Amino acid sequence: MANTNITAVTAIYGKTTYLTPQVATPVVLLANAAGSANTCKINQIVASNIHSTNAINASLWIYTNGAQAQNSAPTSGVSHCVANAISVPVNASLILVDKTTAIYLEEGTSIVVSSGTANGITYSLSYELIS
């Protein structure tokens, strides 16, 4: 797993991805595969409660050595908790990560989320893909 030299950047692409987990167990929101030669600078992660009647818990981890495809279960690696079971009220959103909490997702790592309730939270993630 090599780190991208961000002082010798070839390109920076602004990207946004969204995911509403259909299971109550942890799933990958964003993966940066080993050997990708990229770094992802995370700008913002927002958890929006789309459940009509209940508050839903939102959780977020960084998995090292465990990059998997989006919406799949993390199968390996070590988890590092960023946010754990934070209650998001009905019709509300919670900023889990913003630019003041700098996170660089290196090769072979992934961002994993869980909402505790299937189809309860939509996660949106804004990031810069640096190569």
Break the chain into its structural domains and give their ranges.
12-130
Taking only the tens of pLDDT, the chain with its 131 residues reads 566 677 788 999 999 999 999 999 999 999 998 888 899 999 999 999 999 899 999 999 999 876 677 888 887 788 999 999 999 999 999 999 999 988 999 998 999 999 989 999 999 999 999 99
- CA end-to-end distance (rounded Å), the chain: 14
Q: Dig out the tokens for 123 from the structure.
A: 């996660």
Range 12-130 has CATH code 2.60.120:
yes
Q: Against a cut of 0.85, is the pTM above it? A: yes
Give the pLDDT of residue 25.
Answer: 92
